[in-house]
Structure 1
Amino acid sequence: MLYFTFQSSRMIHVSNRRSLHYQHGAFTDLVFYTVVFLALMNSCRAQSEVIVPSQPVVSLVGEDVILPCHLDPVMNAFDITVEWARPDLNPRFVLLWRQGEELKTIKHPSFSGRTSVFIDELEKGNVSLKLSKVKVSDEGGYKCCLL
């Protein structure tokens, strides 16, 4: 399982691998899960506060997960720049939305075809990221920023 948690003040990047043993009849399966802390480094837009959950978001490897992020007060984010990034990667962009479209050419290759925003929700201030087919390599600190 991958655990995604958030904090709103500063970046925290903690990696903690643990194993769980599950009993299935005569067999014991060893299952690895990854704890991932996702936090905002700084709010990049002064007009709205970026809001993220205080409880963990949990996903199994191979499933889709939504990393919630919205603006308060609500503002239309369709025509502004929304950046989802992993500062530890090069290039750092997980998704970059600018002027009504995603800029796919500067996205980190490991996220190609696996990230999206909810286009119909951007005008309501919902800038959440959908990450499809979660991989163990998705572990890391994520940044949601509006420019």
Structure 2
Amino acid sequence: MARLDLLHHALLWTLMCLFFLGSASEGINTTAGQDVTLTCRAPNNNNIIVVEWSRADLESEYVILYRDGHFVPDHQHPSFKNRVDLQDRQMKDGDVSLILENVTIDDNGTYECRIFTRGANCRKGAHLKTDPISIISLRVVDPPDKKIITAESGQKVTLTCRAPNNNIIVVKWSRADLEPEYVLLYRDDLFVPDNQHPSFKNRVDLQDRQMKDGDVSLILKNVTINDTGTYECGVLMREIRSWKPISIIHLHVDPPGQRGGVIRRRHGLLAGLIFLLSLLAFLICRRHKKHNQESQSTSS
């Protein structure tokens, strides 16, 4: 029986060692200006003394160091000051994920998560700094170009947006000035009405609810001047697991009749110009004809 207990404990310690020595590697793609969560989870939070996030190209400087319930600012790379935090400082269930705010292209790189533990390690009674338990490659690209659309009140407008593929979990159309309410949220083939701005209820739809070829364009019906603003299209994709803004469109809506009035005025000016040119041509031809007749009379 004692041998079975020893074997059981040995197997348990071996599995824990293998967990620490193993690492999970993943990749995240996002755009500049977004907040990103780099996930990392230890077996539990009872034995964690220190959490360290690092990036290989920063050498001795680190992204974040958290020790005994406090952040340690010494040797932190300047570019991460006031931009990083742990998702849960209590590290419940071993969650030591990193939040990186307002990312830029300078944040591109491979991030490693390590922890120091007390007691629960391969050598009883010693503190252990693990090999990386999470390795994440972060790729940040510049935000998409902004498009401008002009419409007249009462029209139906399509705001185009296309994802790289149709492996889409959630589609979200938002407008910055409506924060935190949104224009449209589509999840698991259903529209989610919670927190949708009241002015868009029953006026918005996706151009293709099957999202073929990644088409997540928005249809906005019966637009008004209150719909003027900057719209952002974002998707959550299975392979990325973070919000990816892929289209930014500024919509300008003219008051009723204004756009048509401008067009009618332009048409009136063009008609007037054509009339004046025709009259001028008639007068020139008439004068030229009269001149020819006088020349013939003189020669006879």
TM-score (norm 2): 0.30
Contact 2:51 2:96 in 1 (8 A): yes
SS in 2 for 1:119: coil
Deviations 1:51-88 (A, max 9, x none): 6464x3222111000011112xx311685111000121
Aligned residues: 100
Q: How much identity, in percent, do the aligned residues show?
A: 32
User: What is residue 64 of structure 1 aligned with on the other side?
Assistant: 35
Give ranges in structure 1 of 5+ residues lacking alignment.
Answer: 1-44
Worse-matched range after superposition: 130-139 or 79-88 = 79-88
CA RMSD after TM alignment:
2.5
Query: Which of structure 1's runs of 4+ aligned residues deviate more than 4 A?
Result: none
* More helix per residue: 2
SS in 1 for 2:66: strand
Greater RCO, CA 8 A, separation 6+: 1
Report which of the two structures shows the higher radius of gyration computed on alpha carbons: 2
User: What is residue 119 of structure 1 aligned with on the other side?
Assistant: 88
Give ranges in structure 2 of 5+ residues lacking alignment.
Answer: 1-15, 117-300
Contact 1:82 1:145 in 2 (8 A): yes
Q: What is the CA–CA distance in structure 2 between the aligned matches of 1:117 and 1:84, rounded to whole Å?
A: 10
Deviations 1:36-65 (A, max 9, x none): xxxxxxxxx9485366464x3222111000
CA separation of 1:121 and 1:137: change in aligned 2, threshold 3 A: same
User: What is residue 30 of structure 1 aligned with on the other side?
Assistant: none
Structure 2 counterparts to residues 12-91 of structure 1, below 5 A? 46=17, 48-49=19-20, 52=24, 54=26, 56-71=27-42, 74-76=43-45, 79-91=48-60
Q: What is the CA–CA distance in structure 1 between the aligned matches of 2:18 and 2:69, rounded to whole Å?
A: 20
User: What is residue 167 of structure 2 aligned with on the other side?
Assistant: none
* More strand per residue: 1
CA separation of 1:115 and 1:109: change in aligned 2, threshold 3 A: same
> Are positions 1:106 and 2:81 aligned together?
no
Contact 1:62 1:133 in 2 (8 A): yes
User: What is residue 26 of structure 1 aligned with on the other side?
Assistant: none
Q: What is the CA–CA distance in structure 2 between the aligned matches of 1:130 and 1:95, rounded to whole Å?
A: 10
Q: What is the CA–CA distance in structure 2 between the aligned matches of 1:103 and 1:114, rounded to whole Å?
A: 14
> Are positions 1:138 and 2:107 aligned together?
yes
Worse-matched range after superposition: 100-109 or 125-134 = 100-109
CA separation of 1:140 and 1:126: change in aligned 2, threshold 3 A: same
Contact 1:52 1:70 in 2 (8 A): no
